[in-house]
């Protein structure tokens, strides 16, 4: 996909104040610090479109961007950030789950996981919840530049084997590095294909 335009629309603190759901929407989610905002910037070829930080918990609002005037790209706050109070963490979780359950135009969630780590309970539980809630998702392995190719393959296979213990089918998986600009094109290809299917199936968003 050629990125002709990408514009920031707004930051919202709850799903009710998100922009009109008049376009297909794709959202990036995952643990705090996993690399959501960085991957969005890499995919859009823009350095500072989405704010990034070495400190977890940088993105605290729901951030909407419009790409090519056609679809929403959404940067969400991370879940599981340990350094905030329990009640704050619950508030964040509520913000995220309410957004996911109520956002009518949400077509697919990209769940980001760090390619260096073995499957984490919090991510597996989140995917389980997506399944139960009927929310389509794909898995995006991040920061692949930090591993040797053999180690990435091994980790991804181990992750998929873990998923196959509870899932009959694997979701689409992408191996990415925001640092080396790897894998973003595959994600964009999937979005293009999905948008074309929506048009073909006459799915309306207004
Ligand atoms: P929150 O908004 O806090 O939930 O974090 P986030 O998931 O948006 O992560 P963010 O993009 O801010 O990145 C967190 C840290 O990881 C930053 O220091 C990034 O530079 C680093 N990082 C992100 N992606 C990559 C990558 O592909 N490779 C490497 N080496 N570092 C990365
Ligand atoms: Mg972020």
70 CB under 6 A from ligand 1? no
8-state DSSP, 17:
G
CA of 75: how far to CAs of 41, 50, 97, 133, in Å? Answer: 10, 7, 14, 20
Ligand 1 in reach of 52 Cβ (< 6 A): yes
Q: Would the CB of 155 count as within 6 Å of ligand 1? A: no
Regarding the beta carbon of 57 and ligand 1, being less than 6 Å apart is answered: yes
CA distance 92 to 80: 9
Q: Please give the share of the chain, as a percent, with pLDDT higher than 70.
A: 100
Residues 6+ apart with CB under 8 A from 35: 112, 114, 142, 143, 178
| pLDDT tens-digit series, residues 1-48 | 889 999 999 999 999 999 999 999 999 999 999 999 999 999 999 999
Domains of the chain: which residue ranges? Answer: 6-200
Question: For 137-168, what is each residue's pLDDT tens digit?
Answer: 999 999 999 999 999 999 999 999 999 999 99
How many CB atoms are closer than 10 A to CB 184? 21
Question: How many other β-carbons are positioned within 10 Å of the β-carbon of residue 101?
Answer: 12
C-alpha to C-alpha distance for 39 and 113, rounded to whole angstroms: 12
The yes or no reply on domain 6-200 and CATH 3.40.50.300 is: yes
In this prediction, residue 118 has a pLDDT band, given cuts at 50, 70 and 90, of very high
Atom of ligand 1 nearest to the CA of 34: 7
Instruction: For 130-144, give the DSSP string.
Output: HHHHT--EEEEEE-G
Q: pTM value? A: 0.96
């Amino acid at each position: 996909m050629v990125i002709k335009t990408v514009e920031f629309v707004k930051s919202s603190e709850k799903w009710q104040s998100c922009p009109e759901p008049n376009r297909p929407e794709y959202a990036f989610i995952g643990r705090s610090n996993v690399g959501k905002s960085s991957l969005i910037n890499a995919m859009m070829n823009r350095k500072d479109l989405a704010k990034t930080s070495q400190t977890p918990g940088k993105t605290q609002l729901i951030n909407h961007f419009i790409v090519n005037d056609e679809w929403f790209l959404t940067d969400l706050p991370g879940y599981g950030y340990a350094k905030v109070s329990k009640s704050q963490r619950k508030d964040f979780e509520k913000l995220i789950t309410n957004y996911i359950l109520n956002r009518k135009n949400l077509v697919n969630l990209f769940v980001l996981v760090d390619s260096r780590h073995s499957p984490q309970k919090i991510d597996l539980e989140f995917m389980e919840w997506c399944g139960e809630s009927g929310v389509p998702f794909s898995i995006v392995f991040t920061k692949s530049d930090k591993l040797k190719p053999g180690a990435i393959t091994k980790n991804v296979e181990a992750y998929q084997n873990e998923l196959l213990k509870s899932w009959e089918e694997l979701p689409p998986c992408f191996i990415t590095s925001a640092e080396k600009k790897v894998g973003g094109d595959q994600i964009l290809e999937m979005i293009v294909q999905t948008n074309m299917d929506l048009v073909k199936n006459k799915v309306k968003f207004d």
